[in-house]
């Protein structure tokens, strides 16, 4: 695979247009781009999953550590390999186990982990051990290959460093077209799997890929933090006093973000939460949530086990507005009729 053995690569980004990014992505998804396994799809998915968590470095770009990149990658593969038994590699036209699948299968027997359980149900020590091995393997073969496929216009990397740096153009492009890229990635991944596996129903493969997506976490810790420590005791949307049933809501819908971040959480009454569901609310609420986030970032001395600084890693003023616009553009509907009490 061209580029697989590169040790480092600089970012080649001189005003890359959106059309050019599309053509690079389309090339990578096409059969013209060489793939013996599905690692490239896995890597693209992991970048998309975490695009709103990246730390901006004014000189080098948007940083994503190898640890984070491959923790998600391992989680996705775990579910595909263990839960759904989908083979991820074809060699001379026959399906084979790729190195990552073998590593995962060995871990299941070696660490004595029950089969068919979710990755997040595996104990933390084993998860970390496995992620470390996958990281070492992936650094060896996929980072350089994908860098090469994108002609250096997606990210800069150094295998001796700690992670990849997305260029600001690439970062903006992926944030903007996240859902479209994810859909194309799934579709191309499913087509590849269809050829490799006996399972010939594309729809079922697509379903399984979607199911391998990280599941929503238990959000009670966020409820505790916002309700008890920051005394958010009214519904973010209608302003009514919250009683016993307090819902934690993803302000920008989870279906778009696919990640859990404190800056995107608000507390809501069950009625508003169910009404809002996977939709957006009026842009008027953006000021309210941005003000709330400013307070959270300035806060000190809380006791909940959440590291606020980590939670706010990729956050900056204006991010939620941009996400709102991108989510809307990707087809997420807007719902109105919440403001029974005026928005402050």
Binding site for Zn ion (CB under 5 A): 235, 237-238, 269, 272
Q: In whole angstroms, how close is the CB of 37 to Zn ion at the nearest point?
A: 48
Neighbours of 106 (CB within 10 A): 12
What phi and psi values does residue 283 have, to the nearest 5 degrees?
A: -60, -15
Q: Which residues pair with 334 in a beta bridge?
A: 280
**Where would I find the beta strands (DSSP E) of 150-256?**
155-158, 163-166, 247-250
Q: In whole angstroms, how close is the CB of 107 to Zn ion at the nearest point?
A: 45
Residue 53, sorted as left (phi over 0), alpha (psi -120 to 50) or beta, turns out to be: alpha
- Nearest CB to Zn ion, comparing residues 214 and 239: 239
The closest alpha carbon to 299, from 233, 230, 219, 248, belongs to: 230
Q: In whole angstroms, how close is the CB of 253 to Zn ion at the nearest point?
A: 17
Asked if residues 333 and 182 have their Cβ atoms less than 8 Å apart, the reply is no
- Nearest CB to Zn ion, comparing residues 170 and 266: 266
Counted residue by residue, the chain has a size of 344
Q: In whole angstroms, how close is the CB of 102 to Zn ion at the nearest point?
A: 50
CA–CA gap between residue 253 and residue 75 (Å, rounded):
22
Q: In whole angstroms, how close is the CB of 333 to Zn ion at the nearest point?
A: 19
- Nearest CB to Zn ion, comparing residues 142 and 281: 281
3-state secondary structure of 227: helix
Q: Which residues contact 145 (CB under 8 A, 6 or more apart)?
A: 1, 2, 3, 4, 39, 40
Q: In whole angstroms, how close is the CB of 267 to Zn ion at the nearest point?
A: 9
Q: In whole angstroms, how close is the CB of 337 to Zn ion at the nearest point?
A: 11
Q: In whole angstroms, how close is the CB of 276 to Zn ion at the nearest point?
A: 9
- Nearest CB to Zn ion, comparing residues 245 and 305: 245
- Nearest CB to Zn ion, comparing residues 178 and 276: 276
Asked if residues 185 and 85 have their Cβ atoms less than 8 Å apart, the reply is no
- Nearest CB to Zn ion, comparing residues 63 and 237: 237
Asked if residues 172 and 160 have their Cβ atoms less than 8 Å apart, the reply is no
- Nearest CB to Zn ion, comparing residues 238 and 319: 238
Tell me the DSSP string of 98-155.
Answer: -HHHHHHHHHHHHTTPPTT--GGGS-HHHHHHHHHHHHHHHHHHTHHHHHHHTTTSSE
Q: How far is CA 81 from the centre of its chain?
A: 19
- Nearest CB to Zn ion, comparing residues 270 and 318: 270
What HEC string does 84-106 produce? CCCCCEEECCEEECCHHHHHHHH
């Amino acid at each position: 695979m061209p580029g697989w053995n590169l040790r480092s690569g600089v970012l080649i980004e001189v005003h890359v247009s959106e059309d050019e990014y599309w053509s690079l992505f389309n090339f990578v998804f096409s059969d013209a781009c060489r793939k013996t396994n599905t690692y490239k799809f896995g890597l693209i998915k992991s970048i998309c999953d975490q695009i709103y968590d990246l730390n901006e470095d004014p000189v080098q770009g948007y940083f994503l550590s190898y640890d984070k990149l491959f923790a998600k990658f391992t989680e996705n593969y775990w579910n595909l390999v263990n839960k759904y038994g989908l083979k991820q590699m074809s060699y001379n036209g026959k399906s084979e186990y790729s190195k990552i699948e073998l590593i995962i299968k060995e871990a299941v027997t070696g660490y004595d982990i029950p089969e068919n359980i979710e990755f997040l149900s595996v104990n933390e020590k084993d998860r970390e051990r496995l992620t470390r091995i996958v990281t070492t393997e992936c650094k060896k073969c996929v980072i350089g290959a994908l860098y090469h496929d994108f002609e250096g216009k997606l990210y800069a990397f150094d295998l001796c460093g700690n992670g990849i740096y997305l260029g600001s153009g690439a970062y903006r492009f992926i944030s903007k077209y996240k859902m479209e890229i994810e859909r194309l990635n799934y579709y191309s991944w499913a087509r590849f799997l269809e050829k490799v596996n006996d399972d010939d129903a594309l729809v079922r493969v697509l379903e399984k890929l979607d199911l391998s997506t990280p599941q929503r976490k238990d959000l009670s810790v966020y409820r505790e933090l916002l309700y008890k420590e920051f005394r958010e005791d009214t519904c973010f949307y209608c302003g009514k006093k919250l009683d016993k049933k307090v819902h934690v809501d993803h302000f920008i819908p989870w279906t778009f973000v696919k990640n859990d971040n404190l800056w995107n959480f608000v507390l809501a009454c069950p009625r508003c939460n169910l009404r809002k569901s996977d939709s957006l609310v009026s842009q008027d609420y953006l000021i309210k949530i941005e003000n709330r986030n400013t307070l959270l970032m300035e806060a000190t001395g809380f006791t909940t086990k959440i590291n606020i600084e980590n939670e706010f890693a990729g956050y900056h003023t204006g991010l939620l507005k941009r996400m709102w616009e991108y989510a809307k553009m990707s087809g997420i509907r807007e719902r109105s009729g919440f403001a029974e009490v005026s928005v402050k």
